[in-house]
Structure 1
């Protein structure tokens, strides 16, 4: 879909509804209605409009075409719903970039408090515009590297932390450990080749310091032939397991 002439959210609504109705058919029982509501679809249409408008003057993504984003990044961001994960009370997204996966998840889980962490200034500024523009009333933006924000990201405050194609599993786990609530989940979007990271010495060494279970879940997006992976790490840190890159260890 060409974005020319499509910068009005009301023009995108029919396209968003069709895409989400198709996607809802692949979701577990009870999850589909969440992403078919008027509020959810209107929020997605506003997000896509703002992303397309901003991308004309600021390079946020290589392809801001709404049809492409719906079929790929939006649906992929909603993969936690595909595998049946429940809405957390609080969520931190590391490296949100142009809004994925945090914005679609914030719309799908409207009772969840969502924190979007982004180190690149122009992207953080764009995310701040989304909070009021979409709107995302339970979301906030933290500008900077997640490991440098001890004062604004309280320890053990998040029931779920997400990271989509951000960094090595061991690195993200070290960033997440001080921030995860007891029994919290770290949810990572990974490709098949990335699973070798689960055997890397830095990751294995971290596991030796914490109680952690790792689950790899396959999921397939409607209309996409290849399977993708969610790596879910459920961590109950020990007192000796809280050291991280935050304090230089």
Structure 2
């Protein structure tokens, strides 16, 4: 598993200290072991886990601004991309949020086992957590494959500072950006670039949408729990 991970890292043109690689391997081991009795991911074989979760998450690494101090991953699941990027970027403080308790319990275990001081795990919904003085406090937003873009924008953008970035990951180009013009306008944000990548071994397509927050967000967003999904902007 370690060699496969290192080959993937090299294929992306990245390089990490041995301590970081050790933590990534330990994280993967914990996930594989926990997944035997707690369903955290449908991917169970080592190579697919490394490529489709770990290497996939690292596609974002070169897009992270060097001045980033805080990041939030909404709907992080078993920690992708947030936990991977937290391990790779120990100087950035990451909030990993999910509403499913078994997933945040697992992430707490990973945090404690690896002694990750830059990770905060939150078991909550975005609409509720933002009330805890979290509005416009993050430099970077992350979300992989959760809901359509016009929905996740309403959850994410209110958390971000003005001029902060949201890097939205999709399995492949879906054209969701074409349905998001109204949400982007209301939330004072704009798409700066759309990146199309391929995973290094399977060649599976991946899309990352780079979004910039231009002005402050109205305090009425996000709307109350469930409304963004039922009535997208």
What's the TM-score, normalizing by structure 2?
0.87
SS at match of 2:141: strand
For 1:148 and 1:60, locate their aligned partners in 2 and report how far apart those are by CA, in whole Å: 23
Aligned mate of 2:45, from 65, 70, 85: 65
Provide, for residues 125-152 of structure 1, a one-character-per-residue CA deviation record: whole Å limited to 9, x for no partner.
1111111112321101110111111243
> Which range moved further: 185-194 or 134-143?
185-194
CA contact (8 A) 2:91 2:118 kept: yes
CA contact (8 A) 2:191 2:209 kept: no
CA drift at 1:40: 0.9
1:173 maps to 2:153? yes
Radius of gyration: which is bigger? 1
For 1:211 and 1:229, locate their aligned partners in 2 and report how far apart those are by CA, in whole Å: 19
Root-mean-square deviation over aligned CA pairs: 2.0
Aligned mate of 1:159, from 131, 136, 139: 139
Unaligned stretches of 5+ residues in structure 2 = 229-233
SS at match of 2:214: strand
Aligned mate of 1:207, from 184, 189, 194: 184
What's the TM-score, normalizing by structure 1?
0.82
CA contact (8 A) 1:89 1:111 kept: yes
Aligned mate of 2:60, from 52, 75, 80: 80
1:111 maps to what in 2? 91
CA drift at 1:242: 4.7
For 1:96 and 1:161, locate their aligned partners in 2 and report how far apart those are by CA, in whole Å: 11
Aligned length: 224
1:197 maps to what in 2? 176
CA contact (8 A) 1:211 1:238 kept: no
Unaligned stretches of 5+ residues in structure 1 = 1-14
SS at match of 2:158: coil
CA contact (8 A) 1:92 1:115 kept: yes
1:233 maps to what in 2? 211
CA contact (8 A) 1:43 1:135 kept: no
CA contact (8 A) 2:9 2:55 kept: no
